[in-house]
Structures are given as C-alpha cells and as structure tokens.
C-alpha cells in the first residue's frame, strides 16, 4: 500500500490509528464505509445484516446518507450488521494485536434494556468488544464494554448520552488493554481476554417491547489493523 494518507474521514481515521496504536503504516489494512447506501449483500457482499422481524437497516438521506439501524416501538429484537470477510478476519486476537475501530453515530433514546454500539464481534459470534450504549452497564453514559452480545463481562463509563452525533473510537496497542474515547476526549480502558477473530459489528438491540423506537444512526464505520510483517 501507499504510505500516503488519504484525505477526508478515512484519512483522519488512519492518522488516528497510527497515533493511538503506533502500528506500522506499511502494514496497515483497513475497511471503511461512509454509509451512503443501504447495507445489503448485493451492493456490498461483505456486510451481513441480521435483523429480527420488524427491525430494519435503512439508508437515509442526512448530509450524504447514514445507515439507520431501527427497532420500532412495540417491537423487541435487533437490527445489526457484521462485516464478515471470511475466511479472512480483521483481527486475530482482541488483546494482543494492534487495531483501531471508529464510527460517527447517534442514538435517539436510551434505557437499561437497550444496546447500541460499534465494535468487534468474535469469530465464534458470541463475544463483542464495543463502544456506545450498553444498557446493562449504564443508561445515562456511553461505555466501553466486552462480553456476550447483550451482557458485560467488564465495562467502564465514558461521557453522558445524548441524541447528537458523536465520534466513537476504540483501539488496542497490543498490550492486553482496549481503550475507547468519545469525540477524542479522555480515554478509558479495560483488560480483555484472548478473544479471537474480530469482525466489524454494528448493532442496536431492545430487550423489551418499548413504546418508543430505538434508532442507531451510523454515518461512518472504519476498522484498521496491522497485518503480519
């Protein structure tokens, strides 16, 4: 790959990945999606949507488009998509390799029964490391968490939740800790176990039949990792 950094959102993400993880720029690999069209296996065969009945992922026109992950009011379940480029995988191990995940996202409503985040899903499809709303950890603060898809083995709190777009970042420098920040603010960290096979994962989930819809809008999604030398 070229050592020149692209312009725009992708360029910013690649610069941040280099600064935060010290990964070798000549070994950087990435996926980047500006979210300007509906995620489906026709337009982008690597994205695998997995929506419960009544839930959806829609492309909507907001300054060039975002992906709207939607669980309607009165309906439980999830709207989610995983970037599954099997047999290749983005991340070998969550804790012991250098990687970076980022997205520009917003949430319309929060409660203890809702999860809405960007993160990495394990190769076994049962564990995530993620940043965003983790209702079991907090219904008032964004958090960095890892554990089962709708549970937390460990979590730490970030800034207060609101309905604005925010820049969510999560990264690992290969030393066993995962870090996260919101809008490039103060970082928090947790130690994670030997989870393998990470794929970029976008998710909103409502465990109860809430009267109001739960909506997670994603404007950009990016994952960067350091390949083998």
Domain boundaries, the chain: 8-226
**By the 8 A CB rule, do 161 and 176 touch?**
no
Just give the CATH number of 8-226. 2.60.120.200
Give the burial string for 181-190 (b: 16+ CB within 10 Å, else e).
bbeeeebbbb
Locate 187 and state its tokens: 């970082």
pTM of the model: 0.91
Report residue 69: phi and psi, to 5°. -90, 115
Residues with pLDDT less than 50, the chain? 1-4
> What is the pLDDT, as a whole number, of residue 52?
92
DSSP state of 34: -
> What is the pLDDT, as a whole number, of residue 163?
94
> What is the pLDDT, as a whole number, of residue 1?
38
> What is the pLDDT, as a whole number, of residue 9?
86
Token pair 């941040």: residue: 16
């Amino acid at each position: 790959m070229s050592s020149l950094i692209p312009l725009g959102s992708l360029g910013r993400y690649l610069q941040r990945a280099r600064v935060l993880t010290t990964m070798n720029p000549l070994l950087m690999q990435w996926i980047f999606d500006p979210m300007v069209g509906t995620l489906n296996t026709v337009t982008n065969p690597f994205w695998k949507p997995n929506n419960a009945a009544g839930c959806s992922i829609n492309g909507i026109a907001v300054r060039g488009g975002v992906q709207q992950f939607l669980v309607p009011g009165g309906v439980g379940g999830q709207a989610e998509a995983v970037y599954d480029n099997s047999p290749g995988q983005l991340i070998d191990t969550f804790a012991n390799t250098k990687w970076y995940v980022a997205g520009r996202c917003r949430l319309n409503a929060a409660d203890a029964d809702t999860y809405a985040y960007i993160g990495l899903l394990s190769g076994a499809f049962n564990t995530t490391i993620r940043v965003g709303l983790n209702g079991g950890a907090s219904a008032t603060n964004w958090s960095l968490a890892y554990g089962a898809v709708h549970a937390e083995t460990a979590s730490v709190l970030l800034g207060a939740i609101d309905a604005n777009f925010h820049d969510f970042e999560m990264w690992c420098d290969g030393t066993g800790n995962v870090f996260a920040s919101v809008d490039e603010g103060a970082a928090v960290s947790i130690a994670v176990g030997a989870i393998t096979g990470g794929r970029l994962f976008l998710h909103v989930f409502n465990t109860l039949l809430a009267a109001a819809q739960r909506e997670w809008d994603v404007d950009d999604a990016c994952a960067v990792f350091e390949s083998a030398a």
